[in-house]
Structure 1
Amino acid sequence: MPLRHPHAHHRGRQGSGGRDAGSAIMNAPERSLASAAQTGKPADAGRRRFLAAGAITVGFTLLPAARLYAAEAAQGPKLPGSLNTNPMLDAWIRLDAQGKLTVYTGKAELGTGVRTALLQIAAEELDVDPSAIHFVTADTQLTPNEGYTAGSHTIADSGTALLNAAAQVRALLLQAAAARLGVDADTLKIDNGFIVAGDGRSLRYGEAVDGLDLHRPAAPVSTLKDPASHKVIGKPMQRLDIPGKVTGGASYVQDMRLPGMVHARAVRPPSYGARLTGVDSARVEAMPGVVKVVRDGSYLAVVAEDEWQAIQAMRELAASATWEETNTMPAPDQIHAALMKMPAREIAVADQPGPAGGAARTLHARYTKPYLVHGSIGPSCSVALFENDRLTVWTHTQGVFPLRAGLAEMLSMPPENIRCVHVEGSGCYGHNAADDVAADAALIARAVPGRPVRMQWMREQEHTWEPFGPAMVTDVKASLDADGKVIDWQYEIWSNSHNQRIDNAGRLMPTWALEHPFTPAPPKPIPMPEGGGDRNSIPLYDFAGVRVQHHFIPDMPLRVSAMRSLGAYHNIFTIESFMDELARAANADPVEFRLRHLGNPRGRDVIALAAEKFGWKDRGKRPPGHGIGFSFAQYKNLMAFLAIAMEIAVERESGRVRIGRVVAACDCGQIVNPDGVRNQIEGGILQSTSWTLYEQLQYDTRRITSYDWSGYPIMRFSDVPATVEVHLIDRPGAPFLGAGEASQGPASAALGNAIADAIGVRLRDLPLAAGRRLREAARPSAA
């Protein structure tokens, strides 16, 4: 939201398990809440029955004792992964006397396959088949609070927590069984949920847990299984979420249907800050099926018995509404110049002086990135039920706990009276409108208590009101010595915030239009090494001198927030494009030039593997208009290492780019599900090439104009690469390194480098194929 919003003066505020695995694991929270909605019973009645029947006292990290343990853990040794903030073992794993095994994670499935991978981790260390586990994700009433599912942290944080929690629970079960059987724990073996003694006697897990209290803090060190003995980790497993998606089953929150459910649509202002000056709500309320017109200041919505009635009523309501528009935005062709002139908070990201003198040649270049749209294939949706002063929201948010806090502030409700349950949405990867539509659903559900409300955005609303990926400017200057080594690297970034997630109710867009609106919390930079606009701005290469300056711009001409990989996409595009420019100036092969400056052995390994599998050394002379490109990065300099080689062809007459072969090599530490990693690398390559070639938000000085797919083109099936190969380096026993966003930056630079190789002209303004840019550059006279 622009900080110049007229209401700023008001108050602050996503195989082997088979059918049984899927049926045992998926959507339990959704089913239980749907049942509660039908019966009218409290949503936690089943949980109370479980507590009465189970042998374990169930605790949550919100309890005072858990907070005490968390405080003690913070003062003592750091616990692995998310155990550090959720240290109680039974926040992650619970087992009753009947042997029912339930595993919890605060992370959400966003289409990346993490639900499957996390299940594999827990099953491995608990020594059970994955189908034996009831798996629950991201539910404020049931799961640990792990914040947001973002930044490729799920396996690294939640996976590490589950790995260690499961190992500790297994050890406790062995100790309990040893005491029951009168033997040494070292003599016991586990066989799929049975603990077996050397004399043949055995106990089920449920029997071993009798009298064992898992409501205890985790230890900082766990006895993990030898990776050589792994049967589940490191093996392909059919993703739990795929069967329903490919067969047309109910898979998304958009598919939810509850008894007595009504449908809602909102009428959005035509531009940021527009004020509703009049509307004929009486005529709309008289339309067939209309339940209620909801108005609060400039907030306007309609509720109807069925979806088509809601759409028709929304259109009538919109047609009768009049607005006062006052907001202005910089002209799109001036946006990058405007960003560089705005007041900025100066952040010295790196300042390592290089040697004085010795520069044989200095190069300088500037790169730009436009605003990007998330473009979720399914517009955002949420279902909410307000009943007996309690609110339940089914949502595809990336953070159920932060959303609950924002909704509680918006509605002036105690957080404990709100339950947010994650259900997958059709498209995400970043901060799209999932939280906003949940706020819509909550506001409208309060106006029609006792009936579930399904709130669905329209395509034009999704494209014009979601938080966009920020525009950026990067400027780089580097010097080479006489031997072709980089001795000095000077880098600058101009960017808005890349994270406007729900710090307060004012971050929820619908609250801006209320009679008493909320103001968004001020934007703040994300500290490195995670970073926001400066993510991946420090090269991993061994340069003698490195200076990186981040001009963090608080003022936001357009509404922006997190988009997959944040600033890493453009920073890696810049760094790796400029590395090719430097290699050319040094008369060096691009791969050899990178290796010349890289000491990190794991980085060198992925570069060597990608080059070998691509056949980089044997590539030969290319036909006119054909090019190859290479790129490398370690995501955030913390997560997965990834290198990409790409070959393309450019049609000089039309400027069309045809992507031929793409070869990637990835090192993400210990691999849980190799198919899942390949899925993410492949998907990231496709998404990144779409951004890099085609995507940019269209707007004028008042409104967003790319409100549908014709105004915001994305890659089509006819444009995808002919082949994509992903080669993995597995490191059993090594820490998990997130891979979900590892390929966005390298794919963009490999593509840019290949285009430069094909046409002999370097393009530095994204998207590369926008308008006539590539076609004009590809003309023989231009090259």
Structure 2
Amino acid sequence: MEKVVSSARRKFLKRSGSLVIGIPFLPGCLSSTEGARTNVEPLQRDLDPTFVKAWLEILKDGTIRIFTGKMELGQGISVAVAQVAAEELNTDINKVSVRLAETEVTPDEGFTVGSNSIETSAMSIRYAAATAREQLLQLAAKQLKVTASDLHVKDGMVYQKGGKTISFYMLLDGKQLDVALNRKAKIKPKNQRQWVGKPIPRKELELMVRGEQVFIQDLRFEGMVHARIVRPASYHATLKKVNEDALRIAVPGIHKLVVNGSFIGLIAADEYDAVKGQAYLKKNTQWSVKHQLRVGESLQQQIEALPNEQESAIEKGNAFQPSKETIKATYFKPYIMHGSIGPSCALAIFKDGKLTIWSHSQGVYPLRKAISALVGLTDEQVHIKGVPGAGCYGHNGADDVAADVAILAMAYPGKHIRLQWSRSDEHGWEPFGSAMIMSLQAKLNSVGKISDWYGEIWSDTHTARPRAASNLLAAQYLSEPLTPQPPGWKGGSYRNAAPYYHIPNVNIDIRSFKGPLRTSALRSLGAYANIFALESFMDELAEKAGKDPVTFRIMNSTDERSVAVLERLRDITSKDTLSDGEGVGYGFTRYGNGAAYCSVAAKLTVTVNGEIKLRKLWAVIDAGEVINLDGLKNQTEGGMIQAASWTLKEAVKYDETHVTSLNWNSYPILRFTEIPEVHVTVIDRPSEQPVGAGEAAQGPTAAAIANAVYQASGKRIRSLPIPKIPS
């Protein structure tokens, strides 16, 4: 093993061409108190997800430790999985702890994406806990020489009616349940539940309010050093010259400069020295810019002129035949960014042949595979611990900053290195949500129902996650650069493009293009733009049919749950009154056409000078069985506010060389003073399977706002964002 490490490291360092600047370290920072996510040693575990012991452990003190391969992204997965485990084991939730995504410790659950953490991880844990309860009762029954029906479990103990008790730990003799997970295990009856369905608070929220250590940006280790990356002048620039001697004079606190092709990183004991070094090199490094971005025409025109690959994505019924009765409209959405409030951050140390990384990645196992290939190590030599990041809504810069710090750690072993991206790094280099064009056509039958629907969608990729090293940003700038893999899955582009209504003939074509900016997964992928277009078009069709917008949607629906969320929303909004210049608009979706149902209404004012004042947002959501009521509402509220910001304000700008939206002034987002009243109503369906809801509200919110603008001003909105209505 040592020989493999040395060989791989020598090869990697040979490519890096690194320069060591020897300066004494400053006093160390405070050591980490992050507990299970940082300093706890990796566990020796069997991670076969078909076995109970991969998901939970019985500890000596009577507590239960749960393992989820999903990442806490603010969606409350930690408390949700604790709730289902506590329920099935009849244990006080305060006796349940949760270990988040970590290689070698938690099951490999791929990426935390698609609002499916409840459907997958939480349900696996539910059945693991239910299986564990059944096994523990059987073991106790055998030991106590009674039947299992004479026993019950509570708080880590098995109780005999009027008789003996025995702890889970004693029953197992310190071992773990080495039994297969039973997906048919009996679940606790709904009328006996004490944890599931309740608004259990998230404990980390108090820590956030207190400013204590929660996020990876807060993480510190004793003796830790700091790093920064100097990015190229543009996507396709290559390094010509970096003045190392001048840097040494200008910022003597720099410990090491790492130059590998066009990748430049620097390390210092003091973070401010790293910041000063980065600023100096930005001004004093020479680049060769090989490609320039097109400007001077609208982005929509650029996209329409790009080469594209067309294919049929959805075909239902007859092919669409245009006629004079055809109703048409085209909609547009620009590039938008994640805009994480906390810029991406990662920490790493290479020591004793092992590279350990702390990351807010959405997929620690895929990231491990990509980074091990990037730096020339085996997967077993890379250990990644998930730590929540301050703001994550898809594939932001988390994986890229982890790759950056991995390169630096290999070149500077034995020390914890903390790498924090700057705001301009985050805004300029993260993967954006793709710009999209949605061209829609439809026909109405004699009674005003939709008979035919055709959609043509232009989109870049929504999936460039690091399943391979080549998709990491740093990999494209090394001395031996890697070319990003072409996207293979196009489903994100046409997610929710097919209307969730009863329409006999539906055809959707996708035109995939390679655009000027780097793109990948942003919350809801293509669904935000597709639902904005689809539900705006539904309002236009309703007007053609002579129906009010909600009635028109209901008359084209056959799913009772769709009708229920629309009718409930209509009842709620009917109690509100409108003044001059005000309007209420509606939007609806079933996310992914198979997950949560969500209807949204927006109330706004359009002033005489065309300014939009968003007043209220309402949502009615049906996500099946409710696991955590508070969490479900919070996710929906957050999705609506974020979508309102996208819809009213956000668009990435760029010039001939690079992105120019590098701060909050050039990329404005919704301010606290602009946030409307937000009301969320939840329809709980305990007999239905729980589904994710974190991405259900975005599209309907955009459409509701656009439709409200029309109701208030008579102006149809087909292009985003809409900061002001033209006179």
Contact in 2 for aligned 1:502/1:508 (Cα 8 Å): yes
3-state DSSP of counterpart to 1:427? coil
Match of 2:138 in 1: 175
* 1:677 aligned to which of 632, 635, 652: 632
Match of 1:720 in 2: 675
3-state DSSP of counterpart to 1:373? coil
Match of 2:46 in 1: 59
Contact in 1 for aligned 2:589/2:599 (Cα 8 Å): yes
> Which letter maps to 1:652?
V
**Superposition map of 1:23-422 within 5 A:** 27-33=34-40, 43-44=41-42, 47=43, 58-61=45-48, 86-96=49-59, 99-210=62-173, 214-286=177-249, 287-331=251-295, 333-354=297-318, 361-422=325-386
1:738 and 2:692 matched:
yes
Contact in 1 for aligned 2:618/2:678 (Cα 8 Å): yes
**Superposition map of 1:499-578 within 5 A:** 499-526=463-490, 531-553=491-513, 555-578=514-537
Instruction: Measure how far apart 1:279 and its partner are.
Output: 1.2
> Which letter maps to 2:164?
R
1:775 and 2:692 matched:
no
* 2:573 aligned to which of 614, 617, 623: 614
Match of 1:39 in 2: none
Match of 2:582 in 1: 626
Instruction: Measure how far apart 1:571 and its partner are.
Output: 0.5
Number of equivalent positions: 695
Contact in 2 for aligned 1:671/1:736 (Cα 8 Å): yes
Query: Could you report, residue by residue, the CA deviation over 1:651-704 in whole angstroms, capped at 9, with x for unpaired residues?
Result: 121x22112222211100111111111101000000000000110000023211
CA distance in 1, matches of 2:191, 2:559: 26
Contact in 1 for aligned 2:588/2:700 (Cα 8 Å): yes
Return closer, same or farther for 1:212/1:734 CA change in 2, 3 Å cut-off: farther
3-state DSSP of counterpart to 1:768? coil
Contact in 2 for aligned 1:497/1:552 (Cα 8 Å): yes
Match of 1:747 in 2: 701
Query: Could you report, residue by residue, the CA deviation over 1:519-541 in whole angstroms, capped at 9, with x for unpaired residues?
Result: 21111224xxxx20100011110
> Which letter maps to 2:255?
V
Contact in 1 for aligned 2:59/2:169 (Cα 8 Å): yes
CA distance in 2, matches of 1:183, 1:360: 79
Gaps of 5+ in 1: 1-10, 12-25, 34-42, 49-57, 62-85
Contact in 1 for aligned 2:350/2:414 (Cα 8 Å): yes
Match of 1:640 in 2: 596
Query: Could you report, residue by residue, the CA deviation over 1:505-561 in whole angstroms, capped at 9, with x for unpaired residues?
Result: 1111011111111121111224xxxx20100011110012111111122x2321000
Contact in 2 for aligned 1:359/1:482 (Cα 8 Å): no
Using the aligned pairs only, state the percent identity. Answer: 38
> Which letter maps to 1:719?
E
3-state DSSP of counterpart to 1:501? coil
CA distance in 2, matches of 1:640, 1:270: 43
> Which letter maps to 1:768?
I
Contact in 1 for aligned 2:34/2:219 (Cα 8 Å): no
Return closer, same or farther for 1:211/1:387 CA change in 2, 3 Å cut-off: closer
Contact in 2 for aligned 1:96/1:209 (Cα 8 Å): no
3-state DSSP of counterpart to 2:326? strand
CA distance in 1, matches of 2:307, 2:356: 42
Instruction: Measure how far apart 1:134 and its partner are.
Output: 2.4
3-state DSSP of counterpart to 2:298? helix
CA distance in 2, matches of 1:155, 1:568: 20
> Which letter maps to 1:712?
Y
Contact in 1 for aligned 2:85/2:126 (Cα 8 Å): yes
Name which of structure 1's ranges 215-224 and 635-644 shifts more when overlaid on structure 2: 215-224
Gaps of 5+ in 2: 1-14, 16-32
Contact in 1 for aligned 2:612/2:725 (Cα 8 Å): no
Return closer, same or farther for 1:360/1:175 CA change in 2, 3 Å cut-off: farther
3-state DSSP of counterpart to 1:322? strand
3-state DSSP of counterpart to 1:221? coil
CA distance in 1, matches of 2:294, 2:63: 59
CA distance in 1, matches of 2:725, 2:317: 41
Instruction: Measure how far apart 1:356 and its partner are.
Output: 9.5
**Superposition map of 1:1-12 within 5 A:** none
Instruction: Measure how far apart 1:229 and its partner are.
Output: 0.7
Contact in 2 for aligned 1:292/1:304 (Cα 8 Å): yes
CA distance in 1, matches of 2:190, 2:286: 65
RMSD: 1.9
CA distance in 2, matches of 1:496, 1:557: 10
Instruction: Measure how far apart 1:503 and its partner are.
Output: 1.6
Return closer, same or farther for 1:131/1:443 CA change in 2, 3 Å cut-off: same
Instruction: Measure how far apart 1:142 and its partner are.
Output: 0.5
Instruction: Measure how far apart 1:358 and its partner are.
Output: 12
Contact in 1 for aligned 2:82/2:97 (Cα 8 Å): no
3-state DSSP of counterpart to 1:32? coil
TM-score by length of 1: 0.86
Match of 1:708 in 2: 663
Contact in 2 for aligned 1:386/1:451 (Cα 8 Å): yes
CA distance in 2, matches of 1:537, 1:499: 17
CA distance in 1, matches of 2:713, 2:296: 27
1:598 and 2:557 matched:
yes
Return closer, same or farther for 1:355/1:340 CA change in 2, 3 Å cut-off: closer
> Which letter maps to 1:279?
V
3-state DSSP of counterpart to 1:519? coil
Match of 1:65 in 2: none
Contact in 2 for aligned 1:682/1:724 (Cα 8 Å): yes
Instruction: Measure how far apart 1:193 and its partner are.
Output: 1.8
Instruction: Measure how far apart 1:708 and its partner are.
Output: 1.0
**Superposition map of 1:392-541 within 5 A:** 392-526=356-490, 531-541=491-501
TM-score by length of 2: 0.93
Instruction: Measure how far apart 1:315 and its partner are.
Output: 1.6
Contact in 1 for aligned 2:76/2:202 (Cα 8 Å): yes
Match of 1:761 in 2: 715
CA distance in 2, matches of 1:242, 1:225: 29
Query: Could you report, residue by residue, the CA deviation over 1:366-416 in whole angstroms, capped at 9, with x for unpaired residues?
Result: 000100011111111101011111111001111111110110000110011
CA distance in 2, matches of 1:381, 1:589: 49
3-state DSSP of counterpart to 1:762? coil
CA distance in 2, matches of 1:329, 1:416: 41
Instruction: Measure how far apart 1:100 and its partner are.
Output: 4.3
Instruction: Measure how far apart 1:156 and its partner are.
Output: 1.0
